[in-house]
Amino acid sequence: MSNFIHRLRHWAKACPEKIALQVDEKRYTYAELLHEIDALAANLPFPSGSGVLIQETDPAQQWLLFLASRKAGLRPVLCHPDLPAEDVLNIAESNGLCLFDGTIGPSDVTKIPAAAEFGILSSGSTGLPKLFWREEHSWTDYFPIQNKIFGINEKSRLFFHGSFSFTGNFNSFVCVFWAGGFARTISAYVPRRWWHILQEESINTLYLLPVKLRQILRAAKTDISSSMRAVFTGSQSLDKELSAALQNHFPKALITLYYGAGELNYITYCHIDEWDLEPGIVGKPFPQVRVRIKDASIYVTTPFGVIGSDHEMTLGDTGAWTPRGNIRFTGRSNAVINCAGRKISVAKVEDALRETPLIKDVTIFAVPDTKRGEVPAAAVVVEQKQPLSTLRKMALRLPSIERPRYWLQYAELPLNSCSKPDVHAMLADWQATQKKDA
């Protein structure tokens, strides 16, 4: 039996009336989840072992179809809701998947590893997502360890936002489900409403990426949450302002910062007081995870990765050890802009601009240039729209070649369904400004 289904049966018997998940106004108890999954699984038309691509916008439906697929012996993959139809077709055909709605198929199981039980898609800002296959135990065996570090238990009341196709959301929800807790989300992208839910519904656990944490804390203004006990988030784009804001708004919370990847699960972590002592760190390795740094590249060995990761691997990330034994993340080898023969580190430019007083958030991306190949452009969040001259002054601390040539100002950065900066949207906005100025 699927580990997920076995766990659901446990909680449906132990606390059948406890609410497991609420999306908008729709609530599901553990018993109701089990009942719906049993009914769905009995009517699935796919042969056992099929790889099934599920494209849904509602997290509850994503979870129900995922579990029903596992109960029926299928190998589900949650697809990003905003992925274009052409990309969905490409992923399905190249990986032997059928589409859950029956429009693509049947599944070609010869393209799927024999041990695979479910798949995850990468969630980067650009390019076609990559599919990675997992065995269930590669997640579930680690839940007791990560839950202890993150402060998650049966009393946890988690708020998250976004699609389960983003591995960070899915893993965070499932580890709370595993502990017998409660998870809450809404479909609306309204940070002030998120904060209201935190306050009004006694939410005590929060998972959001830093870009959404900045948004919810700006919406909170001077309010604090007295009920919050655990906050966990990715560490790579944290800055001093966000660190201070998290501690001001959540004074009683254990705030944990992690570094990880869909294919390797969690890699390193630290608590926010450790980050304050050494800003920019991503912490020490999680238990049972080995990390080494060679020629500035981070290499990871973990028993909790995807199929095919049972050896030392690198994600192309770079870092260095600090005097306190932590790893400082210095960037991604592929996150560079090739400008006139020089490689510009996206992370370096973003970090420098985040330290300026006017810029609340920033994404640096490459735009084409006839003379230099590529040049950096900046998408920034500022409290009030600023003259171009003011923004350029913010970049004077950088070498001239690293200063953004173009600036886009937003009230909030555009994000994709995985809560990552939507570089495609930013490029489209930049192209529109070029046509307007032509």
Say whether both 261 and 389 belong to one domain: no
Q: Residue 343 has what pLDDT?
A: 82
**pLDDT exceeds cutoff 70 at 126:** no
**What is the structure's pLDDT at 335?**
82
Q: What is the DSSP string of 248-267?
A: HH-TT-EEEEEEEETTTEEE
Out of 316, 332, 348, a domain closes at 332
Domain boundary (277, 307, 332) is at 332
Residues 321 and 349 in one domain: no
Is the model's pLDDT at 12 over the cut of 90? yes
What residues form DSSP beta bridges with 283? 327
Please indicate, yes or no, whether residues 258 and 276 belong to a single structural domain of this protein.
Answer: yes
Q: Are 91 and 112 in contact (CB under 8 A)?
A: no
Beta carbons of 32 and 46 less than 8 angstroms apart: no
Percent of the chain with pLDDT over 70: 98
DSSP H helices in 43-108 = 59-71, 85-95
3-state helix, strand, coil in the chain (%, to 5): 35, 30, 40
Question: Rounded to the nearest 5°, which phi and psi values hold at 256?
Answer: -115, 135
Residue type, 149: I
Q: How many residues does the chain have?
A: 438
Three-state SS annotation for 295-343: CCEEEEECCCCCCCCCCCEEEEEEEEECCCCCEEEEEECCCEEEECCEE
265 and 376 co-located in one domain? no
- Residue 437's Cβ-side half-sphere holds a number of Cα atoms within 13 Å equal to 7
Residues 350 and 313 in one domain: no
- pLDDT of 344-385, one tens digit each? 989 889 989 998 888 999 999 999 988 888 999 999 999 889
Q: What is the mean pLDDT of the chain?
A: 93
Read off the pLDDT band of 6 (50, 70, 90): very high
Is 365 found in the same domain as 324?
no
What is the structure's pLDDT at 14? Answer: 98
Q: What is the mean pLDDT of residues 254-263?
A: 94
- The conformation of residue 421, written as its DSSP 8-state character, comes to B
Considering the domain architecture, whether residues 70 and 143 belong to the same structural domain is answered as: no
Neighbours of 275 (CB within 10 A): 21
Give the C-alpha separation, 330 to 351, whole Å: 10
pLDDT computed for residue 121 by the predictor: 95
Mean pLDDT is lowest, of 15-19, 94-98, 178-182, 397-401, for 397-401
Q: Same domain for 266 and 387?
A: no
Domain span at 39: 4-134
The 10 Å CB-count burial string (b at 16+, else e) for 66-80 is bbbbbbbebbbbbbb
**Number of domains into which the chain is organized:** 3
State the pairing for strand pair 230-234/205-207: parallel
pLDDT one-digit tens code per residue, 274-325: 999 999 999 999 999 999 999 999 999 999 999 999 899 998 888 999 999 9
- Co-location of 192 and 306 in the same domain: yes
For residues 315 and 343, membership in a common domain is answered with no
Backbone dihedral region for residue 126 (phi beyond 0: left; psi -120 to 50: alpha; all else: beta):
beta
Residue 265, judged by CB atoms within 10 A of its CB (0-12, 13-18, 19+), counts as: buried
CATH code of the domain covering residue 368: 3.30.300.30
Of residues 378, 403, 315, 278, the one with CA closest to residue 132: 315
Within this chain, do residues 281 and 256 fall inside the same structural domain, yes or no?
yes
Q: Name the domain boundary from 99, 134, 169.
A: 134
Beta-carbon count within 10 A of 423 CB: 20
Q: What is the pTM of this model?
A: 0.87
Q: What percent of the chain has pLDDT over 90?
A: 80
Sign of the alpha-carbon dihedral angle for 410, 414, 419, 420:
negative
CATH number of residue 44's parent domain? 3.40.50.980
Tell me: pLDDT of 332 over 80.
no
Grade residue 438 by pLDDT with cuts at 50, 70 and 90.
low
